[in-house]
Structure 1
Amino acid sequence: MRTPWLLWTLLWACVSVLFLIGPIEVLMPFVVRDQLGGDSSMFGFLLAVMGVGGAVGSLVTASLKLPRRYLTVMMVSWGAGSLPVAAIGILDSFWTVAAAMFVWGATGSVGMVIWGTLLQRRVPSHLLGRVSSLDFFVSLALMPISMALAGPAAEVFPIWAIFLAAGVVCPVLAVIAMIAARMPADELAHPLDRQVVVERTTAAGD
């Protein structure tokens, strides 16, 4: 594949959805009940905190200039942002779990804003529909599988171990993706600010 950054980003998305969605959606209620002594209202509030983090991350990222190291920032946001999930299975304070959810939501949205920009700027227009469809498929196809596996996994492994695996695998794969796709070199070879200047100059000439 001539666009390894795209391939490895999609691979990372596949694995992250598989490892993260099930624990958050299926096992988090047990964390709330058994570790925090809460109920469904607390679970709903934690999801709301994650949503607030996502909104804040999106607004801040959209308000700033796209970073020069856009691929690095995207993968670090997604990878490092998953680390707090690793601790959810052992935390016994509502506010620390809420902080972990906020960070995960915010960093996830930082990466998503950059990703959405890259789809428009670095994917050829005649391929954009197919790539967007693949992105949508990757984002949703493994969600039900992840949720279906979370329950049986909890019968075999302790919940803290499942959250630990989810929070550690994603950052490790993010590092692997950056190295395998040579993202630091790729983003320097394809500066988006220069592309904008070229596009505007071409448009003005027309």
Structure 2
Amino acid sequence: MTSLGSVYWRLWSASGLSNLADGIVKVALGLVAVQFTRSPSLVAGLAAVSSLPWLVFALHAGVLADRVDRRRAMLAANLVRAALVAVLAAAIALGFGSIWLLYVVALGLGIAETVHDTAAQAILPQIVGRDRLTRANSRLFAAELTANEFAGPPLGGFLVAAGASVAFAAPSALWIVALAALFFVPGSFRADRPQGTSVREDLVEGLRFLWENRILRILAIMVGGFNFATSAVITLFVLYAVGPSSAMGLSEQAYGFLLAVIALGSLAGSFVAERIELALGRSRALVLSLLTGAAFAGIPAVTTDPYVIGAVFFLGGAGVVLWNVIVVSLRQRIIPDHLLGRATSGHRLVAWGTKPLGAAAAGLLAEVFGLRPVFAGAAAVILALLPGLRVLTNERPAA
């Protein structure tokens, strides 16, 4: 088995540190938000603002990733994220914190994330080559998910308990360390592409490639539906789980640990994804992923038992990473290097642009119907995606 190389492992280290910071911030934003308001629509709005850039800025982030050195784009994005949370930590320490300040910082972090993540997916084939992408993505997802969802959430819960300003100062320091690790990734990572084209021409070229490839088009639509549903669940789960007036009555630390179970499942899934794909084939493996996702979304509608919810969250986390390893590796193999940033961002516009819509819809529906009907509806949305896999036979993606 060919080594992935030292350059890959430097990228891997930088990604792990960056995702640890991101995991802390995402949990901290929700926990600090409920200190300012208990309104479901305002809490859901914060999550919607965080993911809004994937809806309005993703395509331009893709153009940027195909025009500039992708490593430098990632460095700039991490620098912006470190600065934003440092300012937020200082403002809270000085007594200027508010739900609206959280909104502003969440929006800025979301924009930086679109640039960083689009460039990160585009740079990987340049580092390891397309023949090693499944293994490289498996290892990368293991690091990212362990940091973002396993270590980050409980650490975020403990840091918020220690103080809101501390909870945001720590990830700022982590992003600075990630900058240092990424700085020592050598080489130039600018795509070889025609010069002199306009931004509009670049956008059209990337979207046309994505739309005309039937496999990529269907997968983007399916991921969009999945993310719409899971965004609704994650957005409202903090209200369902945290505080004495909530259905589950958990503390901030217990909530962080429960979310960490998702990452534990994701970590387990990252080590077996390649084997499951080989054993079941791509199509049946993706069916399994959707079924575990539906269970993940719907389980809070039927129980408040943290152990039952935790067990299903574990399976849901494994299913998500199984999907990601298969689909991301397939997309990176299909898309030419000079289009990878734009076509990836076009995919994410559809796939991730639904996240703010799901969060906003969840807040509005929960105000009228309550939390549990939203969880049940999210599970139904995921199950409704299953017919889309009929066209994704094992032979078609292989071709």
TM-score (norm 2): 0.43
In the alignment, structure 1 segments of 5+ residues that lack a partner are 193-206
**CA distance in structure 2 between the partners assigned to 1:189 and 1:29 by the alignment:** 40
1:57 positional shift: 0.7
1:34-183 aligned at under 5 Å gives the runs: 34-62=246-274, 66=278, 69-74=281-286, 76-84=287-295, 85-173=297-385, 175-179=386-390, 182-183=391-392
Counterpart of 1:18 (choices 228, 250, 260) is 228
Name the count of aligned residue pairs: 185
| One-letter amino acid of the structure 1 residue matched with residue 294 of structure 2 | L
Matched, 1:5 2:212: no
1:28 is aligned to 237
Please give the per-residue CA displacement for 1:12-47, whole angstroms capped at 9, x wherever unaligned: 1111212211221x2112321433221222221111
Greater relative contact order structure (CA < 8 Å, 6+ sep): 1
Q: CA deviation at 1:144?
A: 2.7
Query: Contact 1:54–1:106 (CA<8 Å) still a contact in 2?
Result: yes
Question: Unaligned 5+ residue runs, structure 2?
Answer: 1-210
Following superposition, the deviation at residue 98 of structure 1 comes to 0.7
Larger radius of gyration: 2
Asked if 2 retains the 8 angstrom alpha-carbon contact of 1:17 and 1:142, the reply is yes
Q: 1-side partners of 2:280 and 2:300: how far apart?
A: 33
> Cα distance 1:139–1:115, how it changes in 2: closer, same or farther (>3 A)?
same
CA distance in 2, matches of 1:39, 1:118: 41
Taking the aligned partners of 1:7 and 1:191, their CA distance within structure 2 comes to: 16
* Matched-pair contact (CA < 8 Å) for 2:215–2:397: no
1:10 shift after superposition: 0.5
Greater than 6 Å deviation, 4+ residue runs = none
Question: Aligned Cα RMSD in Å?
Answer: 2.3
Query: Aligned partners of 2:315, 2:276: CA distance in 1, in Å?
Result: 19
Contact 2:366/2:374 (8 A) holds in 1: yes
